[in-house]
Structures are given as C-alpha cells and as structure tokens.
C-alpha cells in the first residue's frame, strides 16, 4: 500500500492510502492531482520503519517529506512541506523543513519557540 496526496493549486487537500492502480482510476469529482508521498521520508531522508534509522537505500526517499492536509507541494522541486510555523522561520531548501533563526538547544530539556523574543524558552512544569 502507498500513500497519495491530492494537490489542488499547490496545497494538499487530502491524503489516502491506496494502490497505484486505484489512484490511476479514481475520480472523486474534485479538481487536483494525486501525487505519491512516503510516510517514511522526512527532510529528504528515507527512514527504516522498523528501526527509525536512515535506510541504507535512499532511493526510497520521496518528495522530501510526507504530505499532510494543509501542506504545500512545490512542483518545481517536487517537494512537500509544512506551512510556515512562525514569521521568523525560514524554509531550508535542502530539507524542506522550517528552521528557527536560532538553533534549538541540544541539552535534553524541553523548549518552545517564543516568537516575540526570538528565543527558545524552557518548558516549566
């Protein structure tokens, strides 16, 4: 079984699990195009679903990221990407993931992005 995203005007409006022959013959009456997406691709890397580690065979990486409803599809680079989470974040055109202007702390603690101060603030219990 594969996953397919219905793209209309560059935006994902539906995602289904189906066989290619079903999608080739499926008419839902809604304008747009069905485009295959990979549940195991994130940031342009295909991950092994059993181990969570990058797969040895990266030929399975498909369209940069798994598509979700509300995501965008850039036909010029054949990539799915999420909506911009904050005005200050920029799209990494290598991974098609959004990046904050300040790197996330890598100390094992939980943080949330504070758009007003442009900082990662610690989550306090």
pLDDT digits (tens, 9 = 90+) for 37-62: 999 999 999 999 999 999 999 999 99
Distance CA 80, CA 104 (A): 23
* Same domain, residue pair 17 and 36: yes
* Same domain, residue pair 66 and 24: yes
Host domain of residue 27: 1-82
* Same domain, residue pair 52 and 73: yes
pLDDT digits (tens, 9 = 90+) for 1-38: 899 999 999 999 999 999 999 999 988 899 999 999 99
Which of 62, 82, 102 is the last residue in one of the domains? 82
Contact criterion met (CB below 8 Å) for 5 and 67: yes
* Same domain, residue pair 43 and 104: no
Total-model pTM? 0.90
- Return the number of other C-beta atoms located less than 10 Å from residue 64's C-beta: 26
State the burial class of residue 32 (Cβ atoms within 10 Å of its Cβ: 0-12, 13-18, 19+). middle
* Same domain, residue pair 107 and 65: no
């Amino acid at each position: 079984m594969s996953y397919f995203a219905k793209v209309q005007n560059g935006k994902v409006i539906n995602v289904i699990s189906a066989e290619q022959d079903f999608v080739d013959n499926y008419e839902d009456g809604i304008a747009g195009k069905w485009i295959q997406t990979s549940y195991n691709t994130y940031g342009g890397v295909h991950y092994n679903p059993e181990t969570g580690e990058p797969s040895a065979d990266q030929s399975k990486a498909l369209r940069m990221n798994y598509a979700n409803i509300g995501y965008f599809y850039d036909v010029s680079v054949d990539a799915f990407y999420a909506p911009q989470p904050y005005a200050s974040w920029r799209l990494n055109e290598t991974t098609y993931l959004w990046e904050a202007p300040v790197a996330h702390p890598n100390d094992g603690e939980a943080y949330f992005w504070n758009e007003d101060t442009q900082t990662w603030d610690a989550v306090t219990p």
